[in-house]
Amino acid sequence: MVFALDVGNTNIKCGVFINGELVNSWRMSTDMDRTADEYGITIVSIFKHIDLDPAEVRGIIISSVIPSINYTLEHLCGIYFHIKPLFVSPGIKTGMNLKYDNPKELGADRIVNAIAAYKTYGGPCIVVDFGTATTYGAISANGDFLGGCISPGLKISTEALTRSAAKLPRVELIKPECVICKNTVNAMQAGIIYGYVGQVDFIIKRMKKELGSDALVVATGGLSSLMAAETKAINEVNSLLTLKGLYYIYEKNSALEKGDAS
C-alpha cells in the first residue's frame, strides 16, 4: 500500500494505492497551525473509516508547495506510519527532462501533473491545474516538460475583486446564463467566470501555436469541471491526475533503489 499526499495552498489531496490502483482519495484543509499529531490522528481516523490498515502502508510520497509544512508532515509519517516519506524535490528521479531555466524553481505539483499527463495520454499535451493558482504546462511529443505559465486562480481573483471594491459583495461561483446581466451579483459572476474562460481559451491557443502542433489538453484541480463545461479547449478532465503522478514517481524511485533501472 502506498500513501500519496499532494499539499496545496488550500487543500491537501490524499490517495491510497494498492497494487497500482487508487482505491480511495480525500481532501483535507491545509492548515499551517495544525501539529503532526493533529494531522496524524485525522489521517489514521480516515484510514479506519474506509477500512484500511495504516500498518500496511509500505511507502509514502509527498509533493508540497509549502516548504514550511514539510517538517510537520515528515514528523507525522514517522510517528503514525514509521516511514520516512519521499518528497518530490530536486534530485528525485522523475524520468522527465525538465526544459526549465532553473528546474529547482519548478513547483512539485507541476512536475507531478506533467508526468501523469504524459504517462496517461502521451504527448504533446497541455496540463491546466485549476487550484489556488492556475498553472499551465506544456509537454512535448517525446515527453519533455517545456514550460508554461501561472495565473491567479479563480477564487483568488474573486476575493481580490470583492476586497478591493467596497460596494461589490461576495458572490458564489455560479455561472449566469448571460453576460448582459441586470443585477450586480450576476454581473460579477458573468465577468468572473466567462472572463476566466476567455483567459483559458487564449492561453491554450497561444501555447498550441508555440508548440507548433495541436495538443491534447487535460484539466485537473477543484474547478476543472466548471471550466471544462464552458470551453471546447479542454479535452479531458482528470481530478486524480496529481495523485497518479505521485504514484508513478514513487514506483520509479523504488525500482531504482532496488537496482531496477527500467
- In whole angstroms, give the CA distance from residue 243 to residue 16: 9
- In whole angstroms, give the CA distance from residue 81 to residue 60: 9
Q: Which candidate in 6, 53, 109, 201 is catalytic?
A: 109
- In whole angstroms, give the CA distance from residue 154 to residue 148: 18
Q: How many residues does the chain have?
A: 262
- In whole angstroms, give the CA distance from residue 76 to residue 238: 29
One DSSP character per residue, 124-158 reads SEEEEEESSEEEEEEE-TTS-EEEEEEEE-HHHHH
User: Which residue bears the cell 497561444?
Assistant: 206
Question: Would residue 37 show up in a list of annotated catalytic residues for this protein?
Answer: no
How far separated are the first and last CA of the chain, in Å rounded? Answer: 21
23: which 3 cell numbers? 482505491
DSSP letter at 90? T
Helix, strand or coil for residue 67? helix
Helix, strand or coil for residue 120? helix
Q: Which residues are known to be catalytic?
A: 109
